[in-house]
Amino acid sequence: MRFSYLLLLAGLCAGVSPARAASDPVTGTPARAIPTVRRHLIYFTNKTGTPFSLSQPGAFLSARALQRRTRQGIALKPRDLPVNPAYVAQVKAVAGTRLWYTSRWFNAAIVSCDSTTLAQIRTLSCVQGAQTLNRGQGGPRQPEKEPVAPAERPSSAPADYGIAYNQAQMIGAVTMHNANFRGEGMQIAVFDAGFPSVNQMAVFAPLLQEQRLISTFNVVDKNTDVFQRNDHGTLCLSTLAGNQPGVFIGTAPKASYRLFITEDIGSEHPVEEANWLVAAEYADSAGVDVISSSLGYSTFDVPSANYTYADMNGRTAISTRAATVAARVGMLVVNSAGNEGNSAWRYITAPADADSILTVGAVTAQRNHAAFSSYGPSADGRIKPNVVAQGQQAALVYPTGPGYGSGTSFSCPIMAGMATAFWQSSPTLGVQQVIQFLQRSGSLAANPNNTLGYGIPNFVTAYNLANPSTPLAAASALPAAEALAVYPNPSREEALFLHLSPAFRGTPLRVRLFDARGTLVRELQLAPAGAAEVRLPALPLAKGIYTCLVSSGKAQQTVRLVKL
């Protein structure tokens, strides 16, 4: 995978070299070479004779998975049936074979074995073919570099969101949260390279305390330990599930989550796409609603496995085929477009080329195309990306605290959280209707292109399109420039500024600060100001959370301030 993340400081792992024939130290005679063991995708001929039945789906799909299908009118098909256990047993019986996983959708098994054993497996009558998933030496992957760009001062924001306000407000997520759609009752699966410190960070405390982290699965190592490896997953998850008022709020702070490690950053082979497939089938069977995947594939450690742009046609790459089936069974797949906009490749990477999924590109805080964000179309001419969200200088929470990062890796989960809560607000929609309404709400809906797709979606617009008889008022969906705010926030400084909405400009203001116990700690009288920015007198405040009440002759509003 080429991370859709541009500030990656990857832990580099040495690849495993093919075994070489050593010489006897006395005679000099070459010793027998140790066969190289690789992973392979073994395709079966059919599902004939399987003990599983579409009339008894509870044997392989959860009640929640079945409810998702029923709600969207999706019929069960033979692809939903598990592989024939008898076929799996035949493969396992070949000496030297280790079974890793099976795939319902591909009617296949993932095994590891050497080439001699693979040849034996190919002779089985139940086997249709095989695809090798990793070859040669897996060299360490060099981290991608962030494109050079001037530092941006984050937009002023209501204190609850901290530095995450602009990216949430841009797509209408603040209004969405105020309308009580925060992802409650929805399940999101996050596929990534690791989630270190998630079980220790304050921003995720509600997720753990409220038992909304439902499951974890490390597909790479075949265990449940995901709080390890690369922190790319931690950063992506923060934009979704972060919930620390006064510091950071993600776009789906009340959803439930299932975390998957599918990516091994130590090397790059198609086996990671097979891991994506395994995770998607797990998510399907568990009843997940939305998959957020900030992953992309185009080139590999062995050039012969590389894709070409012509392969970005929605039906070639393993991960693309898996994402397409995931959409067909009723899950909303949200995938990053990729960071190839400045590279020779330029275009989207797999599985962003899949049809029926929501591919997300990146814009700046000023709503302009981020230069690194991959371009469309797909090789067969479909508009990609579908939509965009902030990805340059996006707000994140690192294990060490809040910060910024750039990449479509972050615009993807920011958008996935909004899409999840939008679906929560309109639960009778099918997954393709969700995508259509989000596209129709986009800033370029009337004239989409292959740079920004349908543009920046907006929750209120999408909601009103989906619910014309009960529309939400758009008045509360003020852009950042029209919102009352105090900044910097959180603040370590005594100097503070007020960003005044139009209702507070040109009139005397009374500003009162209350501590967390409701005690008035400071009161200010401000002369009328026609400008939007007002510098407050130095305020020597103790650490804590404060409520700032701003009053004019006709309006009154509160915002929160966090003093660090």
Tell me the per-residue pLDDT of 407-424, one tens digit each, with 9 for 90 and over.
Answer: 999 999 999 999 999 999
Catalytic status, residue 232: yes
pLDDT at 4 over 70: no
Catalytic status, residue 336: no
Q: What is the pLDDT of residues 346-373, one digit of tens each?
A: 999 999 999 999 999 999 999 999 999 9
Q: Is the pTM of this model over 0.85?
A: no
Question: Residue 144 has what pLDDT?
Answer: 40
Active-site hit among 232, 269, 369, 499 = 232
- Left (φ > 0), alpha (ψ -120 to 50) or beta: where does 302 sit? beta
Catalytic status, residue 289: no
Name the percent of the chain in helix, strand, coil, to the closest 5.
25, 25, 50
Cis-peptide, bond into residue 303, ω within 30° of zero: no
How confident is the model over 6-32, as a mean pLDDT?
41
How confident is the model over 300-309, as a mean pLDDT?
92
Residue 343: CB atoms within 10 A of its CB come to 14
Active-site hit among 80, 160, 192, 231 = 192
The contacts of residue 473 (CB under 8 Å, 6+ apart) are: none
Active-site hit among 156, 285, 409, 441 = 409
Residue 493: CB atoms within 10 A of its CB come to 10
Containing 27, the helix (H) or strand (E) segment is none
DSSP letter at 392? T
Compute φ and ψ for 153, nearest 5 degrees.
-75, 125
Question: Residue 539 has what pLDDT?
Answer: 79
Least confident range of 145-149, 207-211, 517-521, 556-560: 145-149
Domains in the chain with CATH codes: 38-132 (no CATH), 160-464 (3.40.50.200), 482-563 (2.60.40.3080)
